[in-house]
Amino acid sequence: MQSTDRRIDKLIHLLVKNATVVVPGPKIASEIGVTRFKVWSWIENLRSLGVEIRGVLGEGYQLVTIPDILAPSLLRAELGDHPIGRNIAHYFRTDSTNVVALKLAAEGAEHGTVVVAEEQTAGRGRLGRAWYSEKSSGIYTSIILRPPLSPAAAPVLTLMAGLAAQKAVISATGLAVDIRWPNDLLVNGKKVCGILTEMSAELDRLHAVVLGIGMNVNHSLMPAELEDIATSLRMEAHRGISRVQVLVALLRELERHYQLLLKKGNRAITERWEAASTFAHGKRVRVVTSAGEMLATTTGVDASGALKIQYDDGRQESLVAGEVVEVK
């Protein structure tokens, strides 16, 4: 599937820039270098994504509301000149932004490249699960990082991503957001965001890390099979949330936390993570691993990003993979 034609991005930018006026069709066509028919068909596409555009016969087009499309031009206008988000590849629809990002990384895409989609047809979750990716409702994004670190840093990068996502959601919505190890975001006990970290590495060197972040933003309800465990920011905040605003905050927070990790080291991240999550200390959990399920209590996060736990039989362990579920 092709990434969005840069001229569609220009069209969105042009309409947003002139939001208070009716922009003549021929002017749009000549500014972005396509036929008037092409302009009309792209406007129809945008309308099908929920963008409200008024057509005035013989005069042109006018935006009714500023669209909440994750268009590179709208995101770039809010981001400073930092590596994360300098390059943004947008897709109206793709199979999985992680698959696209891994391919771009293998082709040499630079550090900080962001892949974002309005819809995924094969969104991937952790532990082989699928990620529900409803069109235009969520944020489905993958960020390519090229850290000068060893593969052992991957778990801390994962915690860093969760921390950045938590700060972004709090700043954009004001909701109380918890982090379940390693990096699920929970609001009122239900999941609103999941992160799948994938990488290409040699024994001692990371080539690229792909942080795949899926966030339920404006879903007005979740599918029946998910409704007990997942929710959206809109459902919790009881108002529509700007995906553009959340994604901009997320990319800024990722930049900030990534710099913190490189300058101050793992502990700067793991200590902040411990302060940000109720799962760090004294949480009663069911530990789910490939070996089965056991009850335990959490006792902190070590410098590598592993979750320290004490099983009910007294044994202690540092978890590097798997999942924990709160026991109430």
Q: Which residues bind ligand BTN (CB under 6 A)?
A: 96-98, 120, 123-126, 129, 131, 140-142, 184, 194-196, 212-214
CB of residue 314 to ligand BTN, shortest distance in Å: 31
CB of residue 212 to ligand BTN, shortest distance in Å: 3
Residue 177 burial by CB count (10 A; 0-12/13-18/19+): exposed, middle or buried?
buried
CB of residue 292 to ligand BTN, shortest distance in Å: 20
DSSP 149-190: S-GGGHHHHHHHHHHHHHHHHHHHH----EEETTTEEEETTE
- Which single residue is written with the structure tokens 């940000």? 276
CB of residue 3 to ligand BTN, shortest distance in Å: 15
Structure tokens at 79: 């981001």
State the distance between the two ends of the chain, measured CA to CA, in whole angstroms: 44
- Which lies closer to ligand BTN via its Cβ, residue 139 or residue 306? 139
- Which lies closer to ligand BTN via its Cβ, residue 96 or residue 137? 96
Paired with 178 in beta bridges are 186
Beta strands in the chain, from DSSP E residues, in sequence order: 53-56, 60-63, 88-91, 114-117, 138-145, 178-180, 184-187, 190-201, 206-216, 281-289, 292-301, 307-311, 316-319, 323-326
- Which lies closer to ligand BTN via its Cβ, residue 184 or residue 255? 184
**SS3 of residue 108 by DSSP:** coil
- Which lies closer to ligand BTN via its Cβ, residue 126 or residue 283? 126
Q: How many helices (H) and strands (E) does the chain have?
A: 9, 14
CB of residue 215 to ligand BTN, shortest distance in Å: 8
Which residue's Cβ has the minimum distance to ligand BTN? 194
- Which lies closer to ligand BTN via its Cβ, residue 25 or residue 194? 194
- Which lies closer to ligand BTN via its Cβ, residue 60 or residue 138? 138
DSSP state of 124: B
CB of residue 205 to ligand BTN, shortest distance in Å: 24
- Which lies closer to ligand BTN via its Cβ, residue 172 or residue 211? 211
Under 8 Å between Cβ of 296 and 311: yes
CB of residue 214 to ligand BTN, shortest distance in Å: 3
CB of residue 295 to ligand BTN, shortest distance in Å: 23
Paired with 53 in beta bridges are 63
Structure tokens at 80: 């400073």
CB of residue 227 to ligand BTN, shortest distance in Å: 16
Under 8 Å between Cβ of 178 and 98: no
- Which lies closer to ligand BTN via its Cβ, residue 58 or residue 128? 128
- Which lies closer to ligand BTN via its Cβ, residue 63 or residue 116? 116
Closest to 272 in 3D by CA, of 175, 146, 153, 183:
183
Closest to 215 in 3D by CA, of 239, 238, 241, 189:
241
